Structure 1
């Protein structure tokens, strides 16, 4: 069914495209699609690529102001061993992290590789291990105590579809409203994983945001987008004016066209390459 006209504005709505369109091809004029997630000849090559992009994501997070003391973590599942993931060391600023700083740990808590001299955030381990256990399709997880994410989390409400970009989370994010303090116990991590369900993101009441993806690029882009979406929501709500919500039909179309693993990977590449340019790629070491 086509959307109806708005009687207040007199604006006739545009029809939603109905024919099948490949999301990656639709991103560029005349279907000249950008390259998506790369493939690799070996686990070693893929592992190094993942660690470089993980470190690059931390540099982006540092520039965006997401660092807060020793809080915040990104994890990436090892490409060869399903029960292992890589995570950042405790008490190292996001803006200083390099690929060689990351620590490899099993979901049971055994450090098995990487920077074995580093410490791991206990709460971070509980959250990330629980999500990696629960979601075999998830290869990367981002969680920090970003400012606007924390502010919006106080309401324990999902984001509204008030603009095109937030539709990337259409029916794909949830709210964890059973805050249990710092997640030093496995039970808190398990409850967070359960609240995430099969979605792309969860708003943690009185805590912050958590996003997931098939690549660290996807999870990182979604985190940046969710943080900005929280900021936009707070700005819009502050006006007290009547909001116009994107229709379910339009929001669903936006989500299907822009929120695939490949498109979200591509969305992050300008951010990654800018950090690479600014630092001469030093985070890859």
Structure 2
């Protein structure tokens, strides 16, 4: 807390920076990016659209404007292919690190930027820590999703513990946390469980249930997420699993305590979903996981 009374020059300079970035709670239209603030949110003024979309607001310690990195632009399709494959390999290892690798049942795919009707997929009967051949069940699901959604470049499927547990309820998430709002009007439930997916017709039905959303809860089965990048799709999967966990805890606490859970109102949900659920935010949120797995493995999977 900085006093508004007398102080040393350093404190006064810091106070000047703070007063130049005053916040207000009144909803307004962000002129350069056309992004509106949530009705009850506080938003710093004079931020560029990239920072505003990522929630990166304010100045660095030396007074420079913060600049949050975003998905790189590629000079050639081959350069992009290498990037996608490296981040796919990273996602495999991150999922294994989080305990999502259950035998041969979990898979991640990424579209090839050169042969755009092809996609890369993890192998059958190998852990997420390896990268060779594919399994038919994965192909039946991922091929139909990639065909139905040309803008989707990656899809993730996992039988995570909390995702499986919540899927057994056959219902959508309640909008009870900020993280849940990543999936506001952007997730669905596929209710036609028919065992291991070996039929491309079932892949079609899953793609239809997904619609234009970013996630589908496969009843009695697990979770599936998609994204413009493998980074985005992988982050949505980890977030969805944690959100399912939170939902299970809240539902149990509600029954045990007699307190009623509070649902976020529609107006706040719509604004916040735009802040926390965009492709750029999904990509950005994955980067700490990527950096951590590179450090843990000394980047051995990148070559």
In 1: Cα distance, 2:49 partner to 2:88 partner: 25
Q: What do you get for the CA RMSD once the two structures are aligned?
A: 1.5
SS of residue matched to 2:165: helix
Alignment of 1:25 onto 2:43: no
Farther-moved stretch of structure 1 (198-207 vs 174-183):
174-183
TM-score, normalising length from structure 1? 0.85
| Structure-2 residue corresponding to 1:267 | 285
How has the CA–CA distance of structure 1 residues 16 and 227 changed in structure 2, closer, same or farther, with 3 Å as cutoff?
farther
| Structure-1 residue corresponding to 2:107 | 73
Q: Deviations over 1:222-265 (max 9, x none)?
A: 00000000000001111123101111111111111122211210
Q: Deviations over 1:41-84 (max 9, x none)?
A: 11111001001101111111111110101111000001112211
For 1:1-285, what aligned pairs fall within 5 Å after superposition?
Answer: 17-20=27-30, 21=35, 24-26=50-52, 27-30=55-58, 32-94=66-128, 96-97=129-130, 101=131, 115=132, 118=133, 120-239=134-253, 240=255, 241-285=259-303
How has the CA–CA distance of structure 1 residues 170 and 15 changed in structure 2, closer, same or farther, with 3 Å as cutoff?
farther
TM-score, normalising length from structure 2? 0.80
In 1: Cα distance, 2:155 partner to 2:67 partner: 27
In 2: Cα distance, 1:255 partner to 1:77 partner: 26
Where structure 1 has 5 or more consecutive residues not aligned to the other structure, the ranges are 1-13, 102-114
In 2: Cα distance, 1:43 partner to 1:231 partner: 39
Q: Look at both structures and tell me which one has the larger radius of gyration over its CA atoms.
A: 2
Where structure 2 has 5 or more consecutive residues not aligned to the other structure, the ranges are 1-23, 36-47, 59-64
In 2: Cα distance, 1:17 partner to 1:60 partner: 39
Q: Across the two proteins, how many residue pairs are aligned to each other? A: 252
How has the CA–CA distance of structure 1 residues 168 and 17 changed in structure 2, closer, same or farther, with 3 Å as cutoff?
farther
- Structure 1 ranges of 4+ moved more than 4 A: none
Q: Shift of residue 17 of structure 1?
A: 3.4
Higher relative contact order (CA 8 A, sep 6+): 1
